[in-house]
Amino acid sequence: MQDFYVFSNGQLKRQDNTIYFIDGEGKKKSLPVDKVENLHLFGETQFNSSFLNLLNQYDINLHIYNYYGFYAGSYVPREKKVSGFVLVKQAEHYLKEEKRLEIARSFIESASFHILRNLKSHKEKTTDTIRMITEERKKLENANSVQEIMGIEGRIRNCYYQSFSQFLRPEFSMEKREKRPPTSPINALLSFGNSLMYTTVLTEIYKTQLNPTISYLHEPSVKRFSLSLDIAEIFKPLIVEPLIFSLINNRRITPKQFSYEHGFCLLNEEGRKRFIESLEKKMQTSIKHRKLKRQVTYRYLIRLECYKLIKHVIGDEKYKPLKAWW
């Protein structure tokens, strides 16, 4: 199963049991519907209910991004893996503050572990940052509220971002984290990568019995799948950020892959394609799992994290967040 990315404007049509993309010049390209797991739309694309019915038939997720490359929304086929028992237990762990705190703390313990792991790859330049983040990380154990945990996470991230100029090429220096709009290349890369990670996590959640709207670190609210934000905290510093560092320092991404519009700094189409190509390759990379004793991909590690969370909320096994051992 593969992800397919559409950058051009055009139409997506169903003909019998086949998906066709027709670009602005009328050129038609078929997609292997039985091999598509996710469709990512970055261009202006037209489709109808017949097309959506085919997606539902083949369990294909559709993710839509706006003109600037930010995640806008998803069409997800009707849930098939549902469990009232898991839903009740998941909600119970949100409603009971002590249970919620335990899970929220675990997410940031894992995230900060991977942040330190990244910095230790450049430890000759980041010694002071490593020390400051290590001290902040110790405060997680005594945090008494989710807001306090979020505060610790914010300070860790600020230290981390400020260190980027110490090991990235100078044209990708970072003064501060800007999300919407990003006004610099490094911020544009982070925002784009985080959007893709969010949709990847959402896809893996839907393969389990978890409900993506019930979360523990980020506050559940309308119009967002906040559990995806929670779990993505673990994988952004494990997958997205090391990929960004590699693309920059190996000159796979340069200032030529960006454009500026109305105060926004954006990856152009060539930049997006290079980023996605490298991300897909990373997600299919496999490692030997210590517990399962077999090779698993980075993408499957995300689903395993969901399974571990289910076991925790139903009382089978205490949740231990992923901390890369390789």
- Which positions make up the binding site for Mn(2+)? 153, 218, 233
Does the bond joining 77 to the residue before it have cis omega, within 30 degrees of 0? no
3 in Cβ contact with 280 (< 8 Å): yes
Identify the bridge partners of residue 260 per DSSP, sorted by sequence position: 265
197 in Cβ contact with 73 (< 8 Å): no
What residues form the annotated binding site?
A: 153, 218, 233
269 in Cβ contact with 142 (< 8 Å): no
Return the SS3 of 3.
strand
- Phi and psi, residue 266, nearest 5°: -130, 145
CA distances in angstroms from 60 to 127, 206, 219, 302, 313, listed in the order given: 45, 11, 28, 18, 28
Q: Which of 31, 63, 18 is nearest to 45 (CA)?
A: 63
Kindly compute the dihedral angle of the four CA atoms of residues 241, 243, 248, 253, in this order, to the nearest 10 degrees. Answer: -120
Return the SS3 of 113.
helix
From its phi and psi, is residue 322 left (phi > 0), alpha (psi between -120 and 50) or beta?
beta
Percent helix, strand, coil in the chain, to 5, is 50, 15, 30
CA distance 280 to 267: 17
Identify the bridge partners of residue 261 per DSSP, sorted by sequence position: 264
Which of the 8 DSSP states describes residue 142? G
CA distance 317 to 312: 5
